[in-house]
């Protein structure tokens, strides 16, 4: 079994019993985006794939204690897991950097191409059709009304396209943002009773 398959198996354990916006499905989508953007941007795909697989493994710790930053916890856990599976020290440092910097509200700036791509991929999964679906899922999980998804768009999701740093990320974000704008304009009209 190669290291990516081994680490994936290990990472999945952190998602047992988790549902919703940040479950294993989110990780799989982020991984797919990382791979596609990484190819376009000539990035190190092994670093990207491992960073994507491990980027949210610390999230359940944050859910249990909001003082814990899931990005920092994920990086800390990733370092141990990667070392246990024989990853090279240089690779571990690169992957840990990617994970530490992926958070929307984080104060660590992505420096490497791979860190920028993980950051973008994680954010791109929060916009477009998937982003709309996740916003409603989040609202349902917290017993919020329909307008909560629109509020999420206005407060957070509408800012994501300006955060992209690669040309590929900018292009994808532009298209996904436009889709969301059209959707929420239409939703607002329908909520207002327009035919």
Provide the pLDDT for residue 27: 96
Q: Is 118 part of a structural domain of the chain?
A: no
Residue 119 lies in a domain: no
Does residue 124 or residue 67 have the better pLDDT? 124
Do 102 and 159 share a domain, yes or no?
Answer: no
Predicted pLDDT at 195: 76
Same domain, yes or no: 109 and 174: no
Q: Is residue 57 part of a domain?
A: yes
80 and 136 both lie in a single domain: no
Distance (Å, whole) CA 144 – CA 151? 11
State the pLDDT at residue 39: 98
Are 189 and 154 within one domain? yes
Give me the number of domains the chain comprises: 2
pLDDT at 60: 87
Digit-coded pLDDT (tens) for 98-151: 999 998 776 789 999 999 999 999 999 999 999 999 999 988 888 888 888 889
Domain range for 171 is 126-195
- pLDDT grade, residue 19 (50/70/90)? low
Same domain for 134 and 105?
no
């Amino acid at each position: 079994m190669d290291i990516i398959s081994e680490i994936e198996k290990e990472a999945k354990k952190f998602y047992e019993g988790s549902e919703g916006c940040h479950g294993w499905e989110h990780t799989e989508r982020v991984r797919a985006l990382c791979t596609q953007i990484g190819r376009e941007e000539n990035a190190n795909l092994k670093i990207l794939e491992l960073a994507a697989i491990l980027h949210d493994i610390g999230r359940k710790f944050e859910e249990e204690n909001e003082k814990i930053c899931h990005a920092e916890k994920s990086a800390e856990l990733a370092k141990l897991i990667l070392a246990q599976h024989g990853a090279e020290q240089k690779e571990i440092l690169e992957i840990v950097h990617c994970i530490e910097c992926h958070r929307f509200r984080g104060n660590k700036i992505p420096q490497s191409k791979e860190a920028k791509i993980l950051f973008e991929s994680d954010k791109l999964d929060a916009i477009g059709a998937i982003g709309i679906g996740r916003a409603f899922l989040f609202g349902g999980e917290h017993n919020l009304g329909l307008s909560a998804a629109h509020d999420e768009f206005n407060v957070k999701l509408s800012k994501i396209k300006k955060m992209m740093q690669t040309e590929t990320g900018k292009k994808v974000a532009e298209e996904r943002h436009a889709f969301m704008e059209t959707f929420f304009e239409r939703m607002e009209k329908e909520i207002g009773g327009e035919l």
